[in-house]
Chain A
Amino acid sequence: MEFNQIIEALVACAGGDCGNLSSILDLLANAVVAGLLLGGFYAAVTIGVTISFGMLDIVNIAHPAFIMLGSFVAYFVNQTFGVDPVVIGVVFTPAFFLLGMAIYRIYYNSFEKRGQESIRGLAFFFGVLFIGEVALILTFGVDYRSVDAAYIGTSVNLGVVGLPMRLFVPFVVSMTMMVLLELFLGRTFFGRAIKAVSQDRLALQLMAANPARIKELAFGLSIATASVAGSLLIIIGPVEPSIGRDYIGRVFAICVLGGMSSVPGTVIAAIIIGIAESFTATFYGPSWSPAIAFGLLLLVLAVRPAGLLGR
């Protein structure tokens, strides 16, 4: 589908034959819905980075590797015990939480305490990204893997718009997670403490709270979201270890576009990118969609680095 076809259809409609145009409009409506659902899922992928990078100032470029780990945990448990992938994603969050805390402990002792987080901290996460990917390749191979669940493959039709369940279920789960996180960060003592760390570390110390301890728990939380996001990823489509890389640009683009540390901002930015990618995939071909996130990222960094909802 190219733009000149759309123009042709418009001209034909002006001439009285609107058949082509209405089929294009159907396509458009489907692209919007698919993009919305995809964007909702991107929010789940990004929220961990929003917490670690946006709030804690830890540039965790290895986050996609943890998401892949979540996907393969979901794959393994699903294939062995037949448990629903969403349930697996939720059940494994405590394990991911502990993993995140352990990683932050190493990060804190090796880099943050010495004030060397910039280069070496980045290189550390870069190494972790590689170790994660290679470990998954060595364990599971480079074949695409997928999970089984009753709703995968079915879809509900609402008029001309098809609602594929493999996108709709992740969307609902992701949005639930966003609401819970927003409530947690805004309403609970602990959530407010995390926000406080991101705003003024010193003030928090003066209030007799330990920023390192709070960051440790918050980083655990950010990795815990990767468990859920990973199980959603493998519901949407088959997964192999290196596709995590495709998410690096996307995730950081969404995080920056959403204003770095805001949950609603992340959701809005994720949906914008989801719809933009879905349009590109529909009208130009899916092989172009990775370029979208990067283009938007550069644009945002050049024009408005504070993001959409930034101050």
Chain B
Amino acid sequence: MRRSSLPFLIGIAVVAFLGIAATRLLGNQYYYFAAYVVLQYVVLATGWNILGGYTGYVNFGVAGFFAIGAYTSVVLIKLLGAPMPVLILAGGIVAGLVGLGTGYLTLRLKGVFFSIATLALAIVLQTFVTNWDYVGGSRGVYTIRPREVPFFDNYVEYLFIVMLLLALGAVAAAWLIERSWIGRGLAAIRDDEQAAEAMGVPTLRLKLFATTVSGFMMGIAGAPYPYYVTYLDPASGFSLAYAVNSVAMPLIGGTTSAVLLGTLQQVATVTISSALNLLIVGVNLVMFVTVAPEGILGLAREFAEGRPGRRAAIAAMILGILAGDTGIAITGAAGAGLLQLLGIAIPLLTIVGGGLALVRPGIGGLMMLASAAATAAVFGLDVLTAIPIAIGAIGGALAYLARYRITASAGYEALRRA
């Protein structure tokens, strides 16, 4: 073990300790309930990142792998009443094998075929589960939690700790893989597969390894899920939200190592209605991959490097996205029909304006200012609406006032790239 990994491992141990300590101190069940979801996404996104981030192969079937873990648990609970560690291991192994099989059939071709196959895999697995009466079919299945668990006051705390350990394990495993020769091989595949092959990197074997590990992690994320929800039906087990969140978090957080950063965004949206939540994630995903391909980390790095124009642009973009996200959460949840549509469309305008601030700051800034004004005009100015209005107006003003410096800095950027 190299010296550099010591602080990392200590950090993992500290987080685990803090989590266990928290169950002794915090009484409110809701925190564990919400934290479980966030941690589950950490495991899913870490798993996705092993293939998507390190290797450059996009898996859209996250929901399928997650559901394999969940339904393997259902079967084992019904058949044997198996304990949690067995469920997790089994769910991971089955999902890993499915990943291996899909990869074996499609990874020798162009990467997109793998993506398409995984997308379709989720749908086909859902068809199987819907038709499989033993696991409840389309009606769903109830799982009764064990009445008592040792060391914990109740089952939700236990599930929280289980998921915390899984998340830390996944992050540690990903960290080790990234720094080993396997990680370098995967990175070589991502950058130029033919060159890697020519240099003697065993590309197919490495890709299959990554697919299997990735599937394994998504499977273990799903394994405790039946106990978490206690009622599992195909619609919730295969929800495409898993896929969009797991793809969005690494890409927004910066692909290579900042899965954890994506959780912040998850914390922010976990409490909003599911359709709006998906909309926010989808819009942010599109925004980031379009204008900020390096994700939040890339933006932070550029901000730290700090040419004045670039800084203003990045600040304006972040403010625009913040204002838009909070705007959707606040005005989108108010009212129905036309009012709701406006409540969503106006913040969307802010987000687009924020994205434009990076390249066309004049137009972007005016858009943000206009949508702040529109929010005030349509929804009135009160304590809640003041948040997106103020943030959006500051961002808009910033982009508009700094527009010449931003454009100059964008021109410099383009020159440097050329």
Q: Which A residues are in CB contact (< 8 Å) with B282?
A: 127-128, 130-131, 134
Which segment, of B88-96, B106-114, B218-226, B302-310, faces chain A? B106-114
Judged by a CB distance under 8 angstroms, whether B85 is at the interface is no
Asked if B117 is at the interface (CB within 8 A of a chain A CB), the reply is: yes
Number of A-B pairs whose CB atoms are under 8 Å? 135
- Flag whether B123 is at the interface (Cβ < 8 A): yes
Closest CB in chain A relative to B116 CB, distance in Å: 5
Inter-chain contact A130/B112, CB cutoff 8 Å: no
A301 touches B106 (CB 8 A): yes
Per the bound structure, the CA–CA distance linking A116 and B291 in Å amounts to: 12
Question: Which of A110, A246, A305 touches B113 (beta carbons < 8 Å)?
Answer: A305
Asked whether A124 is an interface residue with its Cβ less than 8 Å from the other chain, the reply is: yes
Contacts of A291 in B (CB 8 A): 124, 127-128
* Most chain B beta-carbon neighbours within 10 Å: one of A119, A128, A295: A119
B275 pairs with A131, CB closer than 8 A: no
Q: Considering the chains assembled together, what is the distance between the CA atoms of A7 and B126 in angstroms?
A: 31
- A290: which B residues are within 8 A, CB to CB? 123-124, 126-127
Smallest Cβ distance from A198 to chain B, in angstroms?
Answer: 14
A238 to B9, CA, bound (A): 55
Cβ-closest chain A residue relative to B289? A120
Cross-chain contact B289 with A127 (CB below 8 angstroms):
yes
CB nearest to A290 among chain B residues: B127
The 8 A CB mask of B250-269 against A (1 = contact, 0 = none) is 01000100000000000000
A298 at the interface (CB under 8 A from B): yes
| Cβ-defined contact, A252 with B116, below 8 A | yes
Q: What residue in chain A is nearest B137 (Cβ atoms)?
A: A287
Q: Given the complex, which residues of B lie within 8 Å of A123, measured CB to CB?
A: 58, 247-248, 251, 285, 289
Partner of B279, one of A61, A131, A253: A131
B116 and A297 contacting across the interface, CB-CB below 8 Å:
yes
Determine if B244 is an interface residue (Cβ-Cβ < 8 Å). Answer: yes
A283 at the A/B interface (Cβ < 8 Å)? no
Contact indicator B117/A127 (Cβ below 8 Å): no
Interface size class of B (residues with CB under 8 A): 35 or more
What chain A residues lie within 8 Å of B58 (beta carbons)? 118-119, 122-123
Closest CB in chain A relative to B123 CB, distance in Å = 5
CB-CB under 8 A from A302, the residues of chain B are 105-106
Is the beta-carbon distance between A61 and B119 smaller than 8 angstroms? yes
- Listed stretches A83-91, A135-143, A158-166, A176-184; interface member: A135-143
What CA separation (Å) do A135 and B275 show in the bound complex?
Answer: 9
Question: Is B286 interfacial (CB 8 A cutoff)?
Answer: yes
Is there an interface contact between B244 and A246, defined as CB atoms closer than 8 Å?
Answer: no
Main secondary structure of the interface of B (DSSP, over half): helix
Q: How far is the CA of A128 from the CA of B279 in the complex (A)?
A: 10
Per-position contact with B for A270-298: 1 when CB-CB < 8 Å, else 0? Answer: 00000000000000010110110111011
Question: Is there contact, CB below 8 Å, between A138 and B340?
Answer: yes
CB distance from A123 to the nearest CB of B (A): 5
Query: When chains A and B are docked, how far (Å) is the Cα of A78 from the Cα of B301?
Result: 52
Interface status of B166 (Cβ within 8 A of chain A):
no
Report the minimal beta-carbon distance from A135 to chain B, rounded to whole angstroms: 7
Q: Tell me if B408 is interfacial: C-beta within 8 Å of chain A.
A: no
Taking the complex as formed, is A106 at the interface, i.e. its CB lies under 8 A from any CB of chain B?
yes
A191 close to B (CB within 8 Å): no
Residues of A within 8 A of B111 (CB): 118
**Chain A residues, CB < 8 A from B117:** 297-298, 301
Q: Once bound together, how far apart are the Cα atoms of A135 and B255, in whole Å?
A: 27
Please tell me which one of the listed residues B105, B127, B248 contacts residue A287 in the complex, with CB atoms under 8 A apart: B127
Which residues of A lie under 8 Å from residue B119 when comparing CB positions? 61, 248-249, 252
- The verdict on B202 contacting chain A, using a C-beta distance below 8 Å, is no
- Encode contact with A along B289-314: 1 for CB under 8 Å, 0 otherwise: 11101000000000000000000000
B187 within 8 A of A: no
CA distance in complex: A291, B129 (Å): 11
B278 lies within 8 A of A130 (CB): yes
Distance (whole angstroms) from the CB of A127 to the closest CB of chain B: 4
Measured in the bound complex, the distance between the Cα atoms of B251 and A126 in whole Å is: 12
- B120 is contacted by which of A110, A128, A139, A293 (Cβ under 8 Å)? A293
Cβ contact within 8 Å between B56 and A245? no
Instruction: Give Cα distance in the complex from A63 to B243, angstroms.
Output: 18
* A229 contacts the other chain (CB 8 A): no
A119 touches B56 (CB 8 A): yes
Which residues of A sit under 8 angstroms from B248, Cβ to Cβ?
123, 127
Q: Quick one: CB contact mask for B120-152 with A, threshold 8 Å, 1 for yes?
A: 110110111011000000100000000000000
Residues of B near A53 (CB, < 8 A) are: 112
Q: How far is the CA of A138 from the CA of B342 in the complex (A)?
A: 11
A59 interfacial contact with B, CB 8 Å: yes
Q: Complex Cα distance A270/B393, Å?
A: 52
Do residues B240 and A245 form an inter-chain contact, with CB atoms below 8 A?
Answer: yes
Asked if B66 is an interface residue, CB under 8 A from chain A, the answer is no
* B positions within 8 Å CB-CB of A: 52, 56, 58, 60, 102, 105-106, 109, 111-113, 115-117, 119-121, 123-124, 126-128, 130-131, 138, 240, 243-244, 247-248, 251, 255, 275-276, 278-279, 281-283, 285-286, 289-291, 293, 340-341, 344
Extra A-B contacts (4), CB below 8 Å, given A110-B293, A138-B279: A61-B60, A119-B251, A127-B285, A127-B286
A sample of 12 inter-chain contacts (CB < 8 A) reads: A119-B255, A122-B60, A123-B251, A127-B248, A127-B286, A130-B282, A134-B278, A138-B279, A294-B120, A294-B124, A297-B120, A301-B113
